[in-house]
Structure 1
Amino acid sequence: MLLKIYENNPNERELKKVVDVLRNGGLVIYPTDTIYGIGCDIYNAKAVEKVARIKGINLKKANLSFICYDLSHISDFTKPLNNHVFKMMKRHLPGPFTFIVNANSNVPKLFKNNKKTVGIRVPDNNIIRTLVDLLGNPILSTSVKEDDDILEYSTDPELIHEKFSDLVDIVIDGGYGGNEPSTIIDCTSDELEITRQGLGIVEF
């Protein structure tokens, strides 16, 4: 299903349709402030495994990320953040950043790598953040785009729907997406490190 939702004024009835699909273990493609993402409820292991199969990801080796609603929601899933990291995140969120943090026991095992870290996003996009809020759980975050893909299909929701309609339950048309990924910042030690420079510009 291709579902049109407007970011400036998301229709709650349409959003609830998407939430029902997520609660029932469905897969959804959604807009962010960078590239369109494909995801599911992080607590539904079978759905997470489906996403991994679609993307060709090995869950034992993958560095999975998920989307939270805001900074206080992030703190539900991390070990205590030091003051410097907290202030830096507060300055940059919502925005096109993925923060690698030390995970606590609320993070499902599938998401923790050997280092017990996890990537967390709060995109500057009303549609996906409202979905997370209504669902009450974070949503898996991985981009629909592969490095060798032609660029056009990954920005146009109708072309995304053509490519993925047999694999996911809903593709949200939230307008054209971007092609540049989020900037990844490793916050697991005192020395903050940019591990991928993407759309977001960081000020430490």
Structure 2
Amino acid sequence: MHHNPQSSDIEKALDTLRAGGLILYPTDTIWGIGCDATNAEAVDAVFRLKGRAQGKSLIVLLDTDNKLQSYVSDVPEVAYQLIEYTERPLTIVYSDAKNLAPNLLAEDGSVGIRIVNHTFCTRLLQRFRKPIVSTSANVSGQPAPRNFGEIAPEIIGGVDYVVQYGQDDLTERQASIVMKLESGGKFSFIRK
């Protein structure tokens, strides 16, 4: 079998997620702090590391849009078109999330979900078979890191596993577009 340099990286990240730990990992946008999005204790640990107030929602990543129905009560049909046609990474905020850790949802029960297309993330999500939290790898109030080199030491030291893949990619990346989608299909931009 052809040895994949990512495979041990993926295994270690999976072990960490399954144990309820935190990973620091590259995404289709900026580096993120990740955990099992169905594990409330792991989500608590993310808030503690970031020094971020509870009640702020966290973004969740999935590898394919056919998994949306497992985590959103009513996925408006237009969501699939928006995901298919977007050029840039797109996070959609859906109302009425389900089967996710309650403490990662916004106070109104909504959640931001992004379908990622990324060498490492996509494989990790396919293998984990559950959604993974991704929140910018910074202490709350500090600027979000645009590449691995900008991540603060206390964030690197505060997670259980730091993914090797992508550390040497110094391209400055930006956060995704964020769009709010009402159950009737009406949408508006939160961040462009």
Normalized against structure 2, the TM-score is what? 0.84
Aligned to 1:188: 182
The alignment status of 1:144 with 2:137, answered yes or no, reads yes
Give distance in 1, aligned partners of 2:172 and 2:96.
29
**Contact 1:10/1:126 (CA < 8 Å) preserved in 2?**
no
Task: Please report how far the alpha carbon of residue 185 of structure 1 lies from its aligned counterpart in structure 2 after TM superposition.
Answer: 0.5
Q: In the alignment, is the contact (CA less than 8 A) between 1:103 and 1:112 conserved in 2?
A: no
Tell me whether 1:123 sits opposite 2:116 in the alignment. yes
* CA offset digits 1:66-86 (Å, max 9, x no partner): 111110112211123232232
Deviation at 1:177? 5.2
Structure 2 runs not aligned, ≥5 long:
none
SS in 2 for 1:63: coil
User: Is 1:109 aligned to residue 102 of structure 2?
Assistant: yes
Matched residue, 1:80? 74
In structure 2, C-alpha distance between the alignment counterparts of 1:156 and 1:163, rounded to whole Å: 16
Is 2:151 aligned against 1:160? Answer: yes
User: Which residue type is aligned with residue 110 of structure 1?
Assistant: N
2:62 is equivalent to residue 71 of structure 1: no
Match of residue 50 from structure 1: 45
Q: Distance in 1 between matches of 2:133 and 2:47?
A: 10
For 2:16 and 2:6, the matched residues in 1 are separated by 16
Residues 139-186 of structure 1, C-alpha deviations (whole Å, 9 max, x = no match): 11101146643x7xx244355374433201122231335342111000
- Mapped to 1, the partners of 2:51 and 2:146 lie a distance apart of 21
Distance 2:17 2:134 in 1: 13
Structure 1 distance, partners of 2:142, 2:156, is 20
Match of 2:162 in 1: 171
Contact 1:157 1:172 in 2 (8 A): no
Q: Which residue of 2 aligns with 1:13?
A: 8
Name the Cα RMSD after superposition: 2.3
Q: What CA distance in whole angstroms lies between the structure 1 residues aligned with 2:5 and 2:95? A: 33
* Structure 1 SS opposite 2:30: coil
- TM normalised by structure 1 equals 0.79
1:122 Cα deviation after fit: 1.8
Equivalent position SS for 2:157: coil
Q: Which amino acid is the alignment partner of residue 54 of structure 1?
A: L
Contact 1:77 1:105 in 2 (8 A): yes
Relative distance call for 1:107 and 1:43 in structure 2 (3 A) is closer
Amino acid aligned to 2:99: N
Sequence identity (%) = 27
